[in-house]
């Protein structure tokens, strides 16, 4: 009897999870969520997604974009984070850390260039936890949010983590930067909150229209949304591999972590991420309404080859050098 119950439980739940690669769209000092209209914004971002990206973005992004660097061809959203730089321990120069597509990734990341991996999950990655959950409602056009803060310097934030990649291992999750060189790079994860107030497309701090009910880490079961934020949205997550390997020989053993975020963030706690919704029509909602689709197009989303996605570009609005050896970080005083 127990066996039968378990079998039924596995068959019954509605469960959808999207996971897909997006190539790098651009590295620029722009931030249409936190500093709309500022060109340049304060610090350099690594940006992926649709080509409607600009210093200021309002309304239905999907109607203005004509291509996306993401595998899901109906997804013209933009996803961005701060950019990681190496600060040379002896001469103080900075060098941008390259990004690599997350490996291994099911569903064909061949042809991806840099970028990050995006997840939209219903609740978590455990099918057994999905009984009696409310339906997922996806974001409306114009919706935006951020998670984390560049000024955070000590308090570990749920869902913002680092891992030190070595060989085949991702290693333990940490809330601050690794303290020794990682041969495979630094893996950064950013989980967004998944409860929405159902009204506001944004809020003054870009966070209070959302609420996080996840108390432990990662892709864990999300407790019910509170009455102030009653709408369960997809859980959005980014994963980025910062390929620190070529700087490891310049990191003398026993010295502090030499990697900094682009706002001169020497503390790993300053990790943050920005999201600008831009799915076409109801493409995302249809996928989230599906059951038992996982890491694919959920039966309704059109996918494109990453070699094609990687050709999508935006112009260099700011026109400044962000790569190579730099005497100071772009936008920073010294």
Interface residues with ligand NAG (CB under 6 A)?
54-56, 88, 91, 93, 325
Task: For residues 320 and 332, give the distance between their C-alpha atoms in angstroms, rounded to a whole number.
Answer: 13
- Report, in Å, the least distance between residue 64 CB and ligand NAG: 7
Give whichever of 88 and 286 is closer to ligand NAG, judged by the CB atom: 88
- Report, in Å, the least distance between residue 248 CB and ligand NAG: 13
Identify whether the C-beta of residue 100 lies closer than 8 Å to the C-beta of residue 185. Answer: yes
Give whichever of 131 and 246 is closer to ligand NAG, judged by the CB atom: 246
Give whichever of 154 and 253 is closer to ligand NAG, judged by the CB atom: 253
Give whichever of 49 and 101 is closer to ligand NAG, judged by the CB atom: 49
- Report, in Å, the least distance between residue 118 CB and ligand NAG: 23
Residues whose CB is less than 8 angstroms from the CB of residue 59 and which lie 6 or more positions away in sequence, other chains included: 141, 142
- Report, in Å, the least distance between residue 181 CB and ligand NAG: 15
Give whichever of 95 and 286 is closer to ligand NAG, judged by the CB atom: 95
- Report, in Å, the least distance between residue 51 CB and ligand NAG: 8
Residues whose CB is less than 8 angstroms from the CB of residue 164 and which lie 6 or more positions away in sequence, other chains included: 171, 174, 178, 180, 182, 186, 187
- Report, in Å, the least distance between residue 124 CB and ligand NAG: 37
Residue with tokens 């730089």: 85
Give whichever of 88 and 303 is closer to ligand NAG, judged by the CB atom: 88
- Report, in Å, the least distance between residue 91 CB and ligand NAG: 4
CA distances from 12 to 2, 8, 128, 132, 292 (A): 16, 6, 9, 10, 9
Residues whose CB is less than 8 angstroms from the CB of residue 196 and which lie 6 or more positions away in sequence, other chains included: 137, 139, 209, 210, 211, 229, 231, 232, 233
Give whichever of 88 and 137 is closer to ligand NAG, judged by the CB atom: 88
């Amino acid at each position: 009897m127990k066996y039968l119950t378990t079998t039924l439980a596995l068959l019954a739940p509605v469960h959808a999870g999207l996971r897909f690669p997006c190539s790098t769209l651009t590295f620029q000092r722009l931030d249409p969520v936190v500093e709309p209209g500022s060109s340049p914004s304060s610090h350099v971002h690594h940006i992926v997604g649709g080509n409607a990206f600009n210093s200021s973005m309002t309304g239905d992004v999907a109607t203005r974009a004509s291509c996306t660097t993401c595998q899901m061809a109906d997804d013209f959203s933009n996803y961005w984070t701060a950019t990681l730089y190496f600060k040379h321990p002896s001469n103080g120069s900075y060098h941008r850390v390259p990004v690599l597509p997350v490996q291994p990734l099911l569903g064909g990341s061949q042809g991806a260039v840099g970028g990050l991996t995006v997840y939209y999950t219903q609740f978590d990655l455990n099918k057994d936890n999905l009984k009696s959950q409310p339906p997922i409602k996806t974001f409306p056009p114009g919706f935006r949010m951020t998670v984390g803060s560049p000024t955070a310097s000590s308090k570990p934030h749920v869902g913002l983590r680092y891992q030190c990649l070595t060989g085949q291992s991702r290693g333990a999750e940490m809330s601050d930067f690794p303290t020794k060189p990682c041969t495979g790079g630094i893996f950064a994860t950013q989980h967004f909150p998944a409860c929405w107030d159902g009204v506001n497309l944004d809020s003054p701090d870009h966070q209070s229209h959302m609420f996080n009910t996840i108390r432990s880490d990662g892709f864990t079961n999300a407790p019910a949304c509170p009455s102030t934020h009653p709408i369960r949205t997809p859980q959005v997550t980014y994963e980025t591999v910062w390929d620190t390997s070529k700087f490891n020989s310049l990191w003398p053993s026993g010295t502090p972590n030499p990697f900094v975020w682009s706002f001169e963030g020497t503390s790993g706690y300053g990790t943050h991420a920005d999201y600008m919704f831009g799915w076409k029509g109801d493409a995302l909602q249809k996928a989230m309404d599906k059951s038992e689709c996982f890491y694919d197009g959920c039966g309704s989303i059109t996918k494109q080859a990453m070699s094609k996605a990687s050709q999508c570009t935006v112009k260099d609005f700011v026109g400044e050098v962000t790569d190579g050896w730099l005497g100071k970080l772009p936008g920073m005083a010294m």
